[in-house]
Structure 1
Amino acid sequence: MSKRLQTGDRAPDFRLSSADGSDVSLSDFAGENVVVYFYPAAATPGCTTEACDFRDNLASLGAAGYRVLGISPDSETKLRSFSEKESLTFPLLSDPDHAVAEAYGAWGEKKNYGKTYEGLIRSTVVIDGSGQVSLAQYNVRATGHVAKLRRDLGIS
């Protein structure tokens, strides 16, 4: 299992393709607070719930100074379709070889219905404007996660 990030760690930089085909790097957001959330698969029930929850809370997160990036192993094509269908207005990034998920500790052993396998662990990492991790949450639940995140960040 990859090492999980902790508060105070330097966030690993990355460059990934987005749903719209452009490249997005963490360094593009230097000086800004960024919420990076990892989700297993676009257009599945839990991931749709979580993405729509971020979409519906984007204004309050933005007003508090946070940008949102979603990362999954899905292809750009699948992300584009998901983004359009759900009217998502924040970048969804494709990490097909899960290198970024591994660097962030969001890839590892999972258990489901008695089966053990490697996969993406639903996780959220908040990075401050200087590139330091200010909050890292792993094994989060899709439902209610954004409300908990807002409480943890002090956003009303």
Structure 2
Amino acid sequence: MKRFLLSCLLSSAIALPAVGALPEGHPAPDFQTQASLAGKAFSYSLQDALKKGPVVVYFYPSAYTGGCNIQAHTFAVNYDKFTAAGASIIGVSLDSIDRLNEFSADPEFCGGKVAVASDIDGNIAKTYDLTIRDAAPGKKDTRGVDINHGFAERTTFIVKPDGKIAATLTGLKPAENVEKSLEIVQQLAAAK
């Protein structure tokens, strides 16, 4: 009997959805922060961006790290397809604005096309119910520079102009994350 009860408890625990990122249909928390595009800092407002169409808000652990480099580059390569679907893109990490100025201008990564925003204290990520991990001492980026900030989990939110989340993407490889994001914004454009 004890084994049966334990088995039932384990089965139900496995079947429960994971606690984490805000789900589809939830209002996306508005945020304002410093961002960078093509090496130039500016003030970013999600609410203002939504006035122009859907926004892909992608949280990533850190500029100049393996998966994040791939994701930023893949967004930059597909930038015209996102704009053709009426969507804008904003990357969000706990990087400083100085690191993001370099990253946003780097032709290997954001290529001057994709804006990236600084969430230095992690408050934006927390409003989206994302987990933040502390940086490991001695952790370096792909350039050999120390990473001295925390990491938000890689999660992408597609936010509709009405401020509601159309999709939450987690658990995907960086390039797949971009491909799925593009597919969703193209579906939103086709549904108009």
Q: Which ranges in structure 2 are unaligned for 5 or more consecutive residues?
A: 1-18, 135-149, 188-192
Structure 2: distance between partners of 1:132 and 1:36: 12
Q: SS in structure 2 opposite 1:144?
A: helix
Report whether the alignment pairs 1:148 with 2:180. yes
The 1:153/1:28 distance shift into structure 2, 3 A limit, reads closer
Please name the residue that 1:72 is paired with: 93
Percent identity over paired residues = 29
Q: Counterpart of 1:96 in structure 2: which amino acid?
A: I
TM-score normalised over the length of structure 2: 0.70
SS for the counterpart of 2:41 is: coil
Residues 56, 181 of structure 2: 8 Å contact kept: no
1:8 aligns to 2:25 (yes or no): yes
Structure with the larger strand share: 1
Cα RMSD of the aligned pairs, angstroms, is 2.3
**How many residues of Structure 1 are paired with residues of Structure 2 in the alignment?**
149
Q: What is the alpha-carbon distance in structure 1 between the residues aligned to residue 185 and residue 41 of structure 2?
A: 31
State how far apart, in whole Å, the 2-side matches of 1:63 and 1:16 are. Answer: 26
Relative CO higher for 1 or 2, CA cutoff 8 Å, sep ≥ 6? 1
Aligned-pair CA distance for 1:143: 3.0
TM-score (norm 1): 0.85
Which residue of structure 2 lines up, in the alignment, with residue 85 of structure 1? Answer: 106
Whose helix proportion is higher, 1 or 2? 2
Tell whether 2:143 aligns with 1:122. Answer: no
- Rg comparison, structure with higher value: 2
Of the three residues 160, 163, 166, the one matched with 1:134 is 166
